[in-house]
Amino acid sequence: MTEVISPATPEQLREAISWALGSKTPLEIIGSGSKISYGHAVAASHVLDLSKLTGVLFYEPEELVMSVRAGTSLAEIHGILRDKNQQFHFEPGNFPGLLADGVADHAGTIGGLIACNISGPRRIKVGAARDHLLGFEAISGRAEDFKSGGRVMKNVTGFDLSKLMAGSFGTLSVMHTITMKVMPCDEKTRTVLIACDDMQIAGSAMTRALGSENEVSAAAWIAREQVVKLGLDIVTGIGTGIVALRVEGPAPSVAWRCEALRKLLADIGASEELHSANSNAFWQAVADVVPFAGGIGLLWRVSGPPASGGAIAAKLADETGGKIMMDWAGAQIWLQLAGGDAMADKVRDIAVSYDARAVLVRAPEDIRNQVPVFHAEDAALARINARIRENFDPEGILNPGRIGHMIAKRGNA
């Protein structure tokens, strides 16, 4: 039986890791468990549960900065931000619907979010979760308390270890304190919807929109059969697949830019607009990958050069028979497969031929144990990654196996 350790303070966290280090006990690190099925299964006899390590240390809305304990729930954080009309600008998705059917809405902790570096549709304009992490404090696999970064926006003091922590899936250290940059909500948001069933045409439409001066803050393509799943009447009413382009900012500017985008892409198809709350609901659904939620079917995430998105998507759909949704102006493609076969070689070959990478986001555990979930790096990069891991967690006690093939042992890429 797995034993659960639930530290409530950084000191208790250090004690727990110190004990694990001393006894060489591997730990599975869990925030709220909302993304536990993302990555490989961890071989550990003990769970380090961070859900008691909570609390807001400070939130200064005028300074656009918030510092919290890593186990604080996103639901709580989003609520606090909303009260001040602020947000995480990278609009992280809410993956429980995608990964763990039945887990409460907006489950997930800030630590888990940063560890997975999950970023939503605004990624194309404002960067990823990692770009909004100003600093952190953590206990490494050496049971040493350390920090990096700070609370200010501009900082070149020493190596930027925050970048290293974001997306490391808890394999280098366990963060207990996280300091984030937050942003005010935009005064206005609108989304231009353009009728379009063809993935390639959709891809080039998004490329044109992003190359224009209209500061598009999100660009996605949703197929006709997935549009209904969004549950937004205006969108369903269009009756075709759609290219969606969001503009945000001061009211007069948003109106002007929407108009400009509709003119620019008039040759693609008829257009509509989503305003305010409708626009927000639409992009929350895209961030949460709602069309593919519900835990049915294997799900891949393919990420590559945005302008190749349409071509990659068309080829993936063609050769796997899977269903597609494109986000990040084509730089992020979701592929849902119908059967139980991950078709890993096929998906990865197509990705690599376009200089893209494929990650298996959702699959039953037995498949995840056979198929490398993460995209393998070349041997030289894998060696550096393995050394970083060894230097931060020499005994391999933190989430062993979680990123499996991503951080292969030296040489085995």
Partner 1 sequence: MPEPDQSTLARRKDIIAAMRDIVPNEGGVIVDEDRLRPYECDGLMAYRQLPMIVVLPENTGQVAAILKYCHTHKIRVVPRGAGTGLSGGALPMADAITISMMKFNRVLDIDWDNRAVVVQPGVTNLGITRAVEHKGFYYAPDPSSQIACSIGGNIAENSGGVHSLKYGLTTNNVLGVEMVTIEGEILRIGGKGLDQSGYDLLGVITGSEGLLGIVTEVTVRILRKPETARALLLGFNSSEEGGNCVARIIADGIIPGGLEMMDAPAIKATEGFVHAGYPLDVEALLLVELDGPKVEVDYLIERVGAIARECGAVYSRISESEDERLLFWSGRKNAFPAIGRISPDYICMDGTIPRRRLAEVLTGMQVLSQRHGLRVANVFHAGDGNLHPLIMFDANQPGELERAEAFGADILKLCVEVGGVLSGEHGIGVEKRDLMPEMFTEDDMKHQERLKLAFDEDELLNPGKVFPTLHGCGELKTLHAREVASKFPDIPRF
The CB-of-348 to partner 1 minimum distance in angstroms stands at 11
**Whole-number Cα distances in Å, 383 to 171, 318, 407:** 15, 36, 8
Choose the contact partner of 326 out of ligand FAD, partner 1, none; CB within 5 to 8 A by kind: none
Scanning residues 70 to 89, which ones bind partner 1 (CB under 8 A)? 85
The CB-of-19 to partner 1 minimum distance in angstroms stands at 18
Q: Does 217 bind partner 1 (CB under 8 A)?
A: no
The CB-of-137 to partner 1 minimum distance in angstroms stands at 9
Could you tell me the strand order of the sheet in which 46-49 lies? 3-5, 46-49, 27-30
CA distance 31 to 48: 9
Of residues 155, 93, 143, the one with CA closest to residue 123: 93
Q: Does 387 bind partner 1 (CB under 8 A)?
A: yes
CB contact at 8 A, 266 and 243: no
Q: Which of 198, 272, 377, 395 binds partner 1 (CB under 8 A)?
A: 377
CB contact at 8 A, 336 and 322: yes
What is the DSSP code string of 121-156?
Answer: TTHHHH--GGGGEEEEEEEETTS-EEEEE-SSS---
Q: Does 396 bind partner 1 (CB under 8 A)?
A: no
Q: Does 362 bind partner 1 (CB under 8 A)?
A: no
Choose the contact partner of 280 out of ligand FAD, partner 1, none; CB within 5 to 8 A by kind: ligand FAD
Q: What is the dihedral of CA 222, 224, 229, 233, to 10 degrees?
A: 100
Choose the contact partner of 256 out of ligand FAD, partner 1, none; CB within 5 to 8 A by kind: partner 1
Cβ distance to partner 1 smaller for residue 238 or 342: 342
**Whole-number Cα distances in Å, 287 to 296, 312, 371:** 18, 20, 26
Binding window for partner 1 (CB under 8 A); candidates: 42-50, 189-197, 226-234, 349-357: 349-357
Scanning residues 250 to 309, which ones bind partner 1 (CB under 8 A)? 250-253, 256-257, 303-307
Q: Which of 200, 272, 388, 396 binds partner 1 (CB under 8 A)?
A: 388
For 348, half-sphere exposure in the C-beta direction (CA atoms, 13 angstrom radius) is 13
Q: Give the footprint of ligand FAD on this chain (CB under 6 A).
A: 234, 272-278, 280
